């Protein structure tokens, strides 16, 4: 059974689909839904359209608005957790013993904790991702994860609504075309960056976007950057190596790169172990964290995005400790949690390992990684867990209930791939932005959404990893 969206007689009209394919790809290019090619990832001489669905995918209206409405509560939760050093230390103790990447991040966190900044500017640009779970005939919004660093596609998703509106008009589906909502996360993300820049208080200072060496997804960055340029805020792009070679702190911990003072560091890199190619990369990260520049995210907020923290927040009583006088907020956040289970050593972890081995198809095994394509499913869970059943290595993972979404029929437009009708699954993201200085929260908003869709044959993976494609919700 598939969720109701575009009628099947439209989806199976081969003549119409062939016409729409050409229209759709041209529309994506005209609207700037762009990526660089795999062959020339660092050159804009040749570009292509970013992969996208031919039609928008159905999303229940009530659940869509639930995801957006709860974004400001997740902003506050992320911020409060990031300020609770005791909770972070206790929650990550087992993980940092066996996960070297998280341990290195935590080591930087411990160092900067020794140099507190009372009026530090805290900037959060995050994205909370969900799927619609269909169990026993009921639909519910369930959270996949929170991305607190390098949350992507706020730029390109600002351009996709016009593409699907145009496709639907050409297909003579005017009614559906009017159901595609305006969406401009790029402007909202830039609003947060601009506020942090203003709070820094130097018009000469610049925003530095910290980027990878491979930059296929540069146009997603550029939309946010151009919003800043429109506000007369100077933006530079640098890599860890640039910071290591040409960066310095003055006596007031102001950060300078190539002689330019940095007001805000916007991380679009640094979320995976391979992003740190040498010890100099880690030294550059520490230099940035020690500086008085606003970091997006700072190291504590980065750690909040780990899967272990996600699992610990789902424990009974933990949300209540962060919202002691807000039972409604606790209820709304907890309603989105899927079952999350610790694999720490001990009786509880042993029970959860046995539970996963008995019914592996009901769970997902998650390491402390971002970027898509890292999770473990099905029989592979047994292979991995059997090898470390009684070893501390298992504590590098958490276990989560597998969400059961209802598939939809759609076409995935991807360069070089023939267009064919697929059974697809979608994931909805809500972008949250907050700015705090000292104890005062100055901005807390949901600034837009992202829908990504993939062939249901693929268990895991995002757009950047080449599995999912960009989409728009068709509210039903």
Contacts with 177 (C-beta within 8 Å, 6 or more apart), sequence order = 164, 165, 168, 169
Q: Is 452 a catalytic residue?
A: yes
User: Which residue in the list 128, 147, 183, 300 is annotated as catalytic?
Assistant: 147
Q: Is 75 a catalytic residue?
A: no
Distances in Å between the alpha carbon of 86 and those of 93, 200, 300, 447? 11, 28, 12, 31
Which residues face 134 on adjacent strands? 139
Beta-sheet strand order (sheet of 363-367): 340-342, 397-401, 363-367, 376-377
Residue 366 among known ligand-binding residues = yes
* Dihedral sign of CA atoms 188, 193, 195, 198 in order: negative
User: Which residue in the list 94, 152, 157, 300 is annotated as catalytic?
Assistant: 152
Residue 344 among known ligand-binding residues = no
The most distant pair of C-alpha atoms in the chain lies apart, rounded to whole Å, by: 69
Q: Is 147 a catalytic residue?
A: yes
User: Which residue in the list 191, 295, 307, 436 is annotated as catalytic?
Assistant: 307
Q: Is 278 a catalytic residue?
A: no
Residue 233 among known ligand-binding residues = no
Residue 162 among known ligand-binding residues = no
Residue 369 among known ligand-binding residues = yes
Residue 245 among known ligand-binding residues = no
Residue 31 among known ligand-binding residues = no
User: Which residue in the list 139, 332, 371, 455 is annotated as catalytic?
Assistant: 371
Q: Is 152 a catalytic residue?
A: yes
Residue 204 among known ligand-binding residues = no
- Cα 42 to chain centroid, rounded: 23
CB under 8 Å, gap of 24 or more: what pairs does 379-387 form?
381/356, 381/357, 382/356, 382/357, 385/353, 385/356, 385/357, 386/357
User: Which residue in the list 289, 370, 429, 461 is annotated as catalytic?
Assistant: 370
Residue 186 among known ligand-binding residues = no
- Give the chain's radius of gyration (CA, Å): 22
User: Which residue in the list 222, 238, 308, 366 is annotated as catalytic?
Assistant: 366
φ, ψ of residue 473 in degrees (nearest 5): -75, 135
Residue 150 among known ligand-binding residues = yes
Residue 307 among known ligand-binding residues = yes
Q: Is 191 a catalytic residue?
A: no
DSSP 290-351: HSSSEEET-HHHHHHTSHHHHHHHTSTTHHHHHSTT-HHHHHHHHTTPPPEEE--SSHHHHH
Residue 332 among known ligand-binding residues = no
Alpha-carbon distance of 121 to 440, in angstroms, equals 10
Contact between 424 and 57 under an 8 Å Cβ cutoff? The reply is yes
User: Which residue in the list 25, 94, 145, 295 is annotated as catalytic?
Assistant: 145
Q: Is 429 a catalytic residue?
A: no
Distances in Å between the alpha carbon of 129 and those of 63, 217, 449? 12, 20, 10
Residue 177 among known ligand-binding residues = no
Residue 247 among known ligand-binding residues = no
Residue 403 among known ligand-binding residues = yes
Q: Is 366 a catalytic residue?
A: yes
Q: Is 226 a catalytic residue?
A: no
Residue 374 among known ligand-binding residues = yes
User: Which residue in the list 452, 461, 462, 472 is annotated as catalytic?
Assistant: 452
Contact between 126 and 147 under an 8 Å Cβ cutoff? The reply is yes
Residue 242 among known ligand-binding residues = no
Residue 411 among known ligand-binding residues = no
Residue 373 among known ligand-binding residues = yes
Residues at the binding site for Mg(2+) are 145, 147, 370
Q: Which residues are annotated as a binding site for ATP?
A: 145, 307, 366-375, 377, 400-403, 427, 452, 454, 460
Q: Which residues are catalytic?
A: 127, 145, 147, 152, 307, 366, 370-371, 452
Pick out the residues of the known binding site: 127, 145, 147, 149-152, 215-217, 268-271, 307, 366-375, 377, 400-403, 427, 452, 454, 460, 463-464
Residues annotated within a binding site for substrate: 127, 149-152, 215-217, 268-271, 463-464
């Amino acid at each position: 059974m598939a969720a109701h969206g575009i009628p099947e007689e439209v989806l199976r009209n081969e003549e119409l689909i062939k016409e729409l394919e050409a229209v759709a790809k041209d529309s994506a290019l005209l609207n700037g839904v762009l990526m660089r090619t795999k062959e020339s990832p660092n050159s804009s001489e040749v570009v292509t359209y970013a992969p996208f669905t031919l039609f928008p995918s159905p999303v229940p209206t009530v659940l869509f608005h639930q995801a957006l409405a709860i974004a400001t509560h997740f902003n506050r939760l992320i911020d409060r957790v990031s300020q609770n050093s005791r909770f972070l230390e206790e929650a990550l103790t087992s993980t940092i013993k066996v996960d070297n990447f998280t341990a290195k991040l935590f080591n930087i966190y411990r160092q900067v904790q020794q140099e507190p900044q009372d009026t530090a500017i805290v900037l959060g640009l995050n994205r909370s991702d969900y799927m619609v779970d269909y169990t026993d005939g009921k639909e519910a919004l369930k959270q996949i994860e929170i991305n607190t660093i390098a949350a992507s596609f706020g730029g390109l998703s600002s351009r996709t609504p016009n593409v699907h509106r145009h496709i639907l008009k050409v297909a003579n589906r005017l009614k559906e075309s009017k159901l595609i909502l305006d969406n401009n996360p790029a402007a909202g993300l830039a609003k947060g960056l601009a506020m942090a820049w203003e709070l820094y208080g130097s018009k000469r200072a610049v925003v530095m976007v910290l980027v990878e060496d491979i930059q296929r997804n540069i146009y997603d960055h550029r939309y946010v950057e151009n919003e800043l340029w429109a506000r007369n805020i100077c933006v530079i792009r640098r890599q860890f190596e640039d910071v290591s070679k040409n960066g310095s702190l003055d006596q007031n911990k102001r950060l300078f790169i190539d002689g330019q003072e940095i007001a805000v560091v916007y991380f679009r890199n640094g979320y995976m172990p391979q992003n740190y190619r040498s010890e100099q990369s880690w030294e550059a990260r520490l230099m940035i964290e020690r500086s008085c520049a606003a970091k997006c995210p700072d190291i504590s907020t980065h750690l909040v995005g780990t899967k272990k923290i996600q699992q610990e927040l789902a424990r009974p009583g933990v949300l209540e400790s962060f919202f002691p006088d807000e039972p409604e907020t606790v209820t709304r956040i907890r309603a989105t949690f899927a079952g999350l289970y610790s694999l720490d050593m001990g009786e509880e972890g042993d029970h959860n390992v046995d539970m996963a081995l008995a019914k592996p198809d009901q769970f997902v095994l998650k390491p402390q990684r971002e970027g898509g394509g890292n999770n473990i499913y099905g029989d592979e869970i047994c292979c991995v867990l059997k090898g470390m059943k009684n070893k501390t290595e298992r504590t590098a993972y958490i276990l989560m209930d597998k969400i059961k979404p209802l598939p939809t029929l759609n076409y995935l437009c991807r360069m070089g791939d023939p267009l064919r009708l697929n059974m697809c699954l979608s994931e909805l993201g809500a972008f949250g932005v907050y700015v705090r200085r000292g104890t005062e929260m100055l901005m807390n908003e949901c600034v837009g959404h992202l829908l990504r869709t993939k062939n249901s044959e693929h268990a895991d993976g995002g757009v950047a990893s080449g599995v999912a494609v960009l989409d728009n919700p068709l509210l039903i």
